[in-house]
Structure 1
């Protein structure tokens, strides 16, 4: 919803600039000299010429003024009066229980149905306090549309739907003829104007809309300044167009940087998940090593019991050999798994180094990710320490296996002695 005291500034695009300049070039003496014989057509032409003068004077005076326009600005007030007369031309009379009524508010309400974004203006008008008549609501709608810089677009929208306008206007009304389309095109030039219109306390219901022709009766000196005014308008429009283009480029750069940041965040998340999986594998491997140690100690105790009991029979000796073979195979499997995990750890370290190099190259754009990189480095150090611990454990295990092999050799000698007996 539009605030009653707020303006809606917007930078005109390149097409708006060209349209505004073209609309000012349309104001020639030849536009105001040829009149048809039909009185209704003369009325339409007079209103169109007054609209041209009003729009041209408003654009020139506003650009020379160089600030945001308010409700007390006389050329702006006269513009709304002229627009009100244009919208009232050829209105059909509607009979109500209070009498006959002519209002262009019903035609303006069509914009909401044809252009959904105009619903905000219509809702704001209906919420304004103090507006009791359709005329007051129509005047408020014109002011809000001008602040939104959509007045030309909305007028073109309803003028293109003459099948709907025929409900409110006579066939020869200005809004139904070519003059209405001309006025809608001239309104594009008003997009270069910023307006802040406060409607609080303004009596829009009972204002008398009288055109002040004295504002448009200028002396010859005024025409000599038109060329200079056109040059100033062109310079200002060029400046606004440059600022808009620069803003578009900056927005595109920001979007590209944001996309890169998102991609790096996804890559970092994936790497974190891989590190978590590796940690789980290392923990599982450590548990397997502990289990093998326990089983090895158990086998050592069993072998000591076998040596102490020299009277054991051949069946017990066969079972011991079988268990020894199983333990040997289990040891080989554990060593292979350990080698695989060590290889995975080395690949992970290589991946970490490559990631660190990539992050260093993009350090200017990713300062906020440095802390996360430090955390990953700390995790890498922990993995190295754990790997070193695993290597030490592997060495201890190798020593234990060597001692076991020595004891097996001793047991083999004992077995041979028993067999010779």
Structure 2
């Protein structure tokens, strides 16, 4: 590693010296086509790649100087513009090309030495990219920075666009430096010896690069040989697999032919059984519908009779309520009349007591004054009148008491009648609630009738489809033959082996019929096998299930792409 560092440093020293001398003698701004400048970039690139760690990518291991040069953007704010320009430059695809573009831009800024010095001041960051013993991590790196300071006297105007910066690392052209050393002969032997030693170092470095290239090519050759042997083994295995598949295909063809012969014998029997089952189901459906119609008629008659009874009970209830109100009014009037008669009777009794008192007084006066006959006669007349009036009052009292007794009896009778009317009203309310319950049951029967009608319509539609299916039985026989030819190893499931759809797991019935998938041979319902696709063994699109439909579409899209 030390010899390599020394040789690289000697080459860099010679290339910088030749570049400075030739540019000073030229006396103009250098461009990208100038040969000493091109060789300087090649030598500098070799120096930066010395001891660089290889980064693994999906293509292979790659060494790129862009990683360490990209660190300068974080260390020096002045390099942000050239790093952004090198990163966003069109036509550059690799990290090596971005690193070369960065070096060209830094040389035009005359900041190459400053940027390299910033990198060498942070060797802890460089250790991530370089192995131990690399030129950038040793003392030769500081010497390289000192040599790069001399480039500040050079004015360069480089056109980076359009150049092939992504190409591999170029080989150093030693002819420039050999000619240079020959043309600059001095009478001093020391200078000649130095030039010869430098040229020797260049030749050793060139031999090292050539040996490294030969080693890489030998490794690639070994990997290609291993890959070739693996491909030969895979080809042999694939050939054996193809032969085994062909044998299996022959066996499957023979089995398919035997299955086809068996199916041709069974199809006629299956068709007759399906026809008999369909006729039996049709008769059962007719009998069921006739029974439902009779049941509906009976229920409808019961509903009309109950409705009529309900209307009569409502009218009778209204009459009873009216009678109850009239009886309540009569009871109130009777009570009022009774109170009035009681008040009159009490007044008459009071007057009778007053008359009796007056009579007693008059009797005492009559005894005390017997002389006054006229007064006694008058008083006797008054007493007789009063007695007559008292007799009339007693008679009136007895009549009133009799009337009061009869009114009380009538009131009791009215209360009993009112109680009976209340009992009748309660019974009528109970019957009304029963009628309401019958009405709700009738509504439920109507809903059940609608459901049965819908079911009957579905069954009629299913029967129509079944009639169409029976009329096209010959075409289905041909379809079965085509299906058996197209299966090629798939098992054609029999109708009696499937009781429910393979995808939605719903039970088959008269309205939910069975359908075969022409690709896999399983049985599905109509909703799970409503798609049609053109298969290689069918001249027209045929029915396939949803799973096969999606798989075949994905396969066709992948083969098309």
Structures share fold, TM-score greater than 0.5: no
TM-score where L is the length of structure 2: 0.33
TM-score where L is the length of structure 1: 0.43
Structure having the higher Rg = 2
